[in-house]
Chains A and B, each alone.
Chain A
């Protein structure tokens, strides 16, 4: 009997109070939507700003307006402004940063709760359910607790180096959100080198983590830091290669353009490039320190890895960044492989950012699920997997996709047929390459079949062992 069908839980879920709460929340949601619809239909707005879809557009308009304002008025101030246009960038950057910070902060508070509840469910227990409705305020309570706690500094720690990493690791954790395309135009920095930017930002945290491990003056922390560095450097390569594959296929490194490409061709890249998705996702879990690749902070081996000695809010920052990065990776997976905000035309009817958020949540669920289920690899196994398995396969995949991309440029007209052919070919390639390369590397489960323990009823020592060996 699964936990979901447990009669006690079912009764709890359908209790009248819970039902009433649900009904009220649903009514409020509907009322809000009706109000927005009424506002749009009434024509009070000019139609350009009818939901959050054009938030990005608003920022863009603000910048243009600022530019105009500064251009119109002559004077020494305008000269500086015109030559640098720094004011508009400063304002929009501040807006963007505030937006990202508040958004990521809000999402984190919810997702910590989501993750703990989900893992609770996976582990046949309840998860936090005491603080606030459904335990939703638990992350807030945890944050308050962490802020109140004394920050312990180990004897012999390098104080400056010890204080810097939580901050340093937080910066890339926020920056990575900049090019994420939430909806058409709803991107903070829609740079045309978005993928390159992601790779660059993604490797920044390594340095901070190594600083943390080294400055803690703790053996476990140093081991964890060494592991992190080794792993991050190794897994940068398959990660970058898989991103490159997507870029080669779509012909753009701009994230919004990649989503647009998927929307125009009515296909998700995961269908075309399953192997790339696997490479990207696996490498990402390694970068994220999540199971099955969480060796950098393998609890059963090196306690907490690089942040063993961090306490209070410093630890909280590491923890938050870790979760935030998990969400960011979910967002990137959704944007690059799962069609981003596009949903085969549904984005015309439903706010696109909601579609995107749904996909992000789905990928995040997979991450939580993996964490709740799988054991952990060993460091050498993971390194071998990166260098001997993922990188050759990613290179092969990149070559194949490069040829496919060239063919696609030529036969752009028959999009559906060509893309269907690519999907088939790449699916086949994935199966053949994964299996074949595993065989080539010596993986042969049938050569040494798994022997279950045999049941005997007689006792004995070494002679009995020999007897059993010969009879087998």
Chain B
């Protein structure tokens, strides 16, 4: 079951999308549709223009660092049909992450992609104005990456609760 109250099941969306664009779908779960990185723009455009799915608005765009690859998460929503679609795009290259920009499809991606680039370092090709948003040009590194502070021997995340003496999880 998808978690969001109005979220479409990822497998249904994947089935429809796969029928139209077979190369685009890389996988699906209940919650989300995984889309091949290179065909993300066509897939999003199809989702936006499809009469049934009608993903008119890019509600949220962010990226997750998975240690060896990045996931760029798109939360799409249809206002007329009142549902939500979650799309993931997997960016394999951890050192030089690149993804086509969805700005041609959703103009709302303008600042969100800049933010992702600024903090996570995913470079969106085809973005009209890909500059740092919050940090200044020449800032060393991308702070939201998990390895950002490892230089000083700092491990990301919280190992355990302070009162948990036994069974402390170490990653």
Contact = CB atoms under 8 A, between A and B. Distances in A.
A132 B58 CA distance: 60
* Most chain B Cβ neighbours within 10 Å, of A459, A460, A461, A463: A461
Nearest to B81: A461
B41 to A, nearest CB: 22
**B interface majority secondary structure:** loop
Interface string B76-117: 001110100000000000000000000000000000000000
Interface string A448-472: 0000000000011111100000000
A460 B80 CA distance: 4
Nearest to B54: A461
B53 interface: no
Interface in A414-472: 459-464
Contacts of A463: 80
Nearest to B77: A461
Interface string A176-213: 00000000000000000000000000000000000000
A464 B54 CA distance: 13
Interface residues of A, number: 6
Contacts of B57: 461
Nearest to A467: B80
B56 interface: yes
Contacts of B56: 461-462
B28 to A, nearest CB: 25
Nearest to A463: B80
Interface in A72-100: none
A112 B54 CA distance: 62
A463 B82 CA distance: 12
Interface string A389-425: 0000000000000000000000000000000000000
Interface in B38-76: 54, 56-57
A118 B169 CA distance: 66
A469 to B, nearest CB: 15
Contacts of A460: 79-80, 82
Nearest to B78: A461
A458 to B, nearest CB: 10
B15 to A, nearest CB: 24
Nearest to A460: B80
Contacts of A461: 54, 56-57, 78-80
B21 to A, nearest CB: 23
Contacts of A464: 79-80
A462 B56 CA distance: 9
A459 B82 CA distance: 8
A418 to B, nearest CB: 69
Nearest to B79: A461
B77 to A, nearest CB: 9
A463 B56 CA distance: 11
A461 B54 CA distance: 10
A337 B108 CA distance: 58
A459 B56 CA distance: 14
Nearest to A461: B79
Nearest to A464: B80
Contacts of A459: 79, 82
A423 B151 CA distance: 87
Contacts of B54: 461
A25 B56 CA distance: 73
Interface string B136-150: 000000000000000
Contacts of B78: 461
Contacts of B82: 459-460
Interface in A140-168: none
B78 to A, nearest CB: 7
B59 to A, nearest CB: 12
Contacts of B79: 459-462, 464
Interface string A91-132: 000000000000000000000000000000000000000000
* Most chain A Cβ neighbours within 10 Å, of B54, B57, B79, B82: B79
A467 to B, nearest CB: 10
A460 to B, nearest CB: 5
A180 to B, nearest CB: 58
A463 B78 CA distance: 11
B106 to A, nearest CB: 14
B109 to A, nearest CB: 18
A443 to B, nearest CB: 36
A160 B118 CA distance: 47
A165 B145 CA distance: 56
A464 to B, nearest CB: 6
B105 to A, nearest CB: 16
Contacts of B80: 460-464
Nearest to B57: A461
A410 B53 CA distance: 86
A330 to B, nearest CB: 50
* Most chain A Cβ neighbours within 10 Å, of B54, B57, B80, B82: B80
A461 B57 CA distance: 9
Closest 10 CB pairs of A and B: A461-B79, A461-B80, A463-B80, A460-B80, A461-B56, A460-B79, A459-B82, A464-B80, A462-B80, A462-B56
Interface of A: 459-464
Given A459-B82, A461-B57, A462-B79, 6 more contacts: A460-B80, A461-B78, A461-B80, A462-B80, A464-B79, A464-B80
17 contacts: A459-B79, A459-B82, A460-B79, A460-B80, A460-B82, A461-B54, A461-B56, A461-B57, A461-B78, A461-B79, A461-B80, A462-B56, A462-B79, A462-B80, A463-B80, A464-B79, A464-B80
